[in-house]
Amino acid sequence: MSKDLLVEVRGLRKVFVTNGSKVEALRGIDIQIKRGETLAVVGVSGSGKSTLLHILGTLDRPTEGEVLYEGEDVFKKNDNELALFRNREIGFVFQFHYLLQEFTALENVMMPLLIQGVDMERARSMASEVLERVGLGDRLNHRPGELSGGEQQRVAIGRAVVLKPKIVLADEPTGNLDLATGRSVLDLLLELNRDYGITLVVVTHNPEVAGRMERRIKLLDGKIVDEN
């Protein structure tokens, strides 16, 4: 495995069984993702984009195939090992922010640090620093319900990058936002990619978002049909 290669996907298949019938969501996917690159995954609804992202994020196991992070097949880990790996190495940003409503912005961003065993004071300091970086230094003690949609997504991005993961996986990160707010959130993701060297993979149906990534792959019926 080349040292500038972060993720390699080989022969990935995913079959779901619903009501006794099989649905093949991914049909032999091969991808190489380099460190620090930005990649868009595009395709119509039902093409397999989100399934691919979930497997890249180790949220779901493949039916067949391998996903190698720095040469290691991550699906040889048990569920507990996989959860620790996921929390440490992968950041997630979804269309809906999934923030904990009863916690402040600061506490939401502290959560991955505390799960990883970072002590309370260090976690508070690191989370504060990241929220400053995403432009929310004056919103630390606000709960999600007191924030705008764009601010909530910035908190979610802060939570995704607070552990300096190697890769951030974003599923329609601007899909729930107005045009101007969506552009500012995308700008932020690309800034963090440049500043921290975090690899960024974005699932999107938005041509403008896809066009700002260095590379694009298009899925159709669970297969890669175009790459540029």
For the chain, give the percent of residues with pLDDT over 90.
68
Average pLDDT of the chain is 91
63 pLDDT higher than 90: yes
Q: Kindly report the CA angle at 72 between 212 and 76, in degrees rounded to 5?
A: 115
Q: Tell me the pLDDT tens digit for each residue of 161-181.
A: 999 999 999 998 888 778 888
pLDDT of residue 2: 54
- Residue 51, pLDDT > 60, answer yes
Q: Which residue has the tokens 């969506």?
A: 182
pLDDT in tens, 173-212: 888 778 888 888 888 899 889 988 999 999 998 888 999 9
Residues 6+ apart with CB under 8 A from 192: 133, 157, 161, 168, 198, 200
Q: DSSP string spanning 99-160?
A: --TTS-HHHHHHHHHHHTT--HHHHHHHHHHHHHHTT-TT-TT--GGGS-HHHHHHHHHHHH
What CATH code would you report for 37-61+79-223?
Answer: 3.40.50.300
Q: Which residue shows structure tokens 């997504």?
A: 153
Per the CB < 8 A criterion, the answer to whether 146 and 106 are in contact is no
